[in-house]
Amino acid sequence: MMDIHCHILPGIDDGAQTIYDSLDMAKQAVSQGIKQIIATPHHMNGKYENRKTGIIQKVNELNKRLKEEQIDLEILPGQENRIYGEILEDYEKGEIQTLAGTSYLFIEFPSGHVPRYAETLLYEIQVKGLVPIIVHPERNAELIQHPDRLYEMVNNGVATQITAASLTGAFGKKIKKFTEQLIEANLTHFLASDAHNVKTRAFKMDEAADEIEKKYGADMLYFFTENAELLAGGQSIYREIPQPVRQKKLFGLF
């Protein structure tokens, strides 16, 4: 299994604070069947700035330590970018790290709203040859109230990633319900941990995988796991969920 969203690099954001925290997270990930993690430290969210060169250096250091500790886990470079107007300019400067060096790029919205310029910028990102992936849309207050806006983004080629803990109910019943609705409405393409530590923001990938298989079947679980592998390989992802799950009505979302 691959986890495409994780704050495992030590001391650079609100995830792992020390190398020992990183190692604890790595051990928990391996125990849940995770073999590869894309490290995605926060960037330009008002508190943390983590540029491409620094991320790659930290990834190399952590991979070296994992080998020394004989932990069977590989870390790949990524970045969780809070949406901002100059992101493409910074991409041209070599400051933006795509996911595992592919054309896929994480975009995070503020938790309470979606900026007015979001659709325009997402379009410009795609014109640049990149595929924007909106992280944890299920936890965005405006998208919960106006899911039609997310529908339009996805319809225009944007992908989304839900969080394992959202699906298991760790963020509350309202977010869990909306997460399920996004799955059922074919508005999400990836499942990831967004893990920050091993206690309060743990991986929960095994629990989420069990829930998906139980509620939606093995084909749905394959959809999420295969899309993560396709992303890491720089290939086109599946855009359609398995037909037995997909419904013509979008479950009362709109």
pLDDT of residue 73: 98
- Per-domain residue ranges for the chain? 2-232
Tell me the whole-structure pTM to 2 decimals.
Answer: 0.95
Residues of the chain with pLDDT under 50: 247-251, 254
- CA-to-CA dists, residue 178 to 3, 8, 58, 84, 142, angstroms: 21, 27, 35, 26, 12
pLDDT of residue 50: 98
CATH class of 2-232: alpha beta
- For 230, residues 6+ apart whose C-beta sits below 8 A from its C-beta are 236, 237, 238
